[in-house]
Every structure is written in structure tokens, then in C-alpha cells.
Amino acid sequence: MGRSGTSALTRVLSLCGATLPGGMMGADSGNERGYWEPRAGLYLNEKFLYRHGSSYFDPTLRLQEEGGLSAEETAAFTAKIRDYLLTLPAAPVVVVKVLHISVLARMWFDAAHQAGYDIAAVLAVRDPQEVIGSLAKLMKASPQLTSALWLKYNLLAERETRGLPRVFVDYSNFLDDWRREIKRISHTLALDLDTGDEAAVEKFLARDMRHQRQRGPLVEPFGTNWLSVAYRGLSAAARDEPWEQSALDGVFEEYRASEHGFRTAIEDFQGQFNRRYRFSRAFIKPLFEGVALVHGRRGTWA
């Protein structure tokens, strides 16, 4: 997900032999070294999510629910992605990083296959508290929202890449020894990568690029252990250590059930029930006083 080191990872991969699409999202105050993602891909995703009442900051799993998207909508968007991918440079390895690709991964992967690509995934892993701090600074988002987003994007990224060649890369490990991590990626995915222009990589990965550093124990904002369990598993995967996929499945199912339940309750509150209730309460005093008068203000209406 965003703020997890995906920009740095993408740029270094490009300096080590992978080819980037054209038309990059350039540097700004939110990312002074550039995002290294194609604007055309960003436009595709943003437009699709907007049309379906969603965005990058949507913590719900509405679009992942059964019937969340129709077959026609899925096919149409997949075709648009395929048409875009067909415009990419011809190269042995092309690296594509697009914001919120995790929530639309199935359509992107189907489109890539249709365009003739073999798919491999590089998943960035970063301490949730560092991501939360980064988003809070950039977007003034609450810890509750950013924690939910960390869970949603990381859990979906892991689930949607099962069965694909993939490698997990810890952001801290990457900054500490990028050569080792590039070798891991190259070996695990059987890609022809090298350390490339080491001076350019060293200059890009300057010490001041890491603005958020985790301090203290992980804070769980939902009264659960979801963040801890998910981060523990992903971190182990990034160290090539054994980890339990079932543990992440458990977190995902609990998050999905809780998110759906609270979303339904909130939508019910904000919808017709709340409007009817608020309208009736505007006249509550004359209404109840009238009923009391009809009962002569006797008995239970005394």
C-alpha cells in the first residue's frame, strides 16, 4: 500500500534492470523523490473507484463482496487495463506500480495475462505504525482509518498474489541492505536483475528518505490483535522465515465480518431510519403532550 516503500522499491528495481512505463507521476511535497507510477494507470483506477463510490481511503470491502461488481463491469475494466498494458515498452522485465492496485488486483492480473505478460509480485512490507504516521502527516488521517487501510491493502495484496511467483520485501531491510534484497528478488522470481548503477541507487536511497520510524509497542485501535498478527506474518515472509497463512486468513475473515457488520449498522443509522426518527423528534414535545392530553394526563400519562 501507499507509504510502505513501494516508490523506493520500484525506482531501485528500475535502476537494476527493470523497465518503467512512460508518463510517470512526478515528485511533489508528499514524495520528494517521485512516485514512480504511471499516471495513466492511476487515472484508470481512480476513475473506476470513483464511479463505484470508492477511493484509496475506503476501508470497506464492498467491492470484494459477492456481487460487488457485475461481470460486465469487471470485463469492461479489464479490457481497459489490457489496452493500457499493450502500450508499455517491450522489455524482458517491466515493473508497474499503481496506487490501489491491490484492491483491483484480479482485473489487473487478468488484463496482464490477456496482454501476454507473465506476472510476478513484489510486495512491500512496512511497520504499520510507520505507515500510520506517514499518512497522518500527509493526509491528516486518523489512526483508526489508516490502521484499517493498512489491514485492507496488506491482507488483499497477500491474498490476491497467492499462487503467483512473489517475494515480500521489508522496507527497513531494503534500506539497510538494498543489494541483498535485490538479490532476493532476482533469485526468488528468477529475474535477470543486477545491482546496476550502484552510485545512482545509493544517491536515491539517501538516509533522510525515511521520515517515520517505529518507536514502542504496536498500538491496536480496534480492541483486537489484527495488526500484530498480520505484521508478524508478513515480516516473517520478508525474512524468508516460516509463517502461517491461516493466521492472515483469520484476521481477514474477522476484519471482513466486523467491517460489514458496522458498515450495515451505520448505513442503517444514516439512511431512512435516521431521517424518519429525526423528523419525528422535531415534533416530539407537541406530539407527546397531545397524547397526554387525550389521556387526560391520568394513569401512565399523568
C-alpha cell at 267: 448505513
Instruction: Say if residues 165 and 190 touch (Cβ distance below 8 Å).
Output: yes
pLDDT at 216: 67
Buried b or exposed e, range 92-115, using 16+ CB within 10 angstroms: ebbbbbbbbbbbbbebbbbbbeee
Q: What confidence tens digit (pLDDT) does each residue in 117-143 have? A: 999 999 999 999 999 988 888 888 899
pLDDT at 213: 59
Q: Where are the domains of the chain?
A: 6-247
pTM for this entry: 0.91
Q: pLDDT averaged over consecutive 10-residue blocks of the chain (302 residues)?
A: 90 96 92 94 98 96 96 98 98 96 98 98 96 86 94 98 98 95 97 88 78 70 97 98 98 98 91 74 86 94 92
Residue 56's Cβ-side half-sphere holds a number of Cα atoms within 13 Å equal to: 16
Per DSSP, the residues of 54-93 read: --TT----GGGSTTSS-HHHHHHHHHHHHHHHTTSPP-S-
pLDDT at 192: 92
- Smallest Cα–Cα separation from 105: which of 47, 156, 55, 169? 156
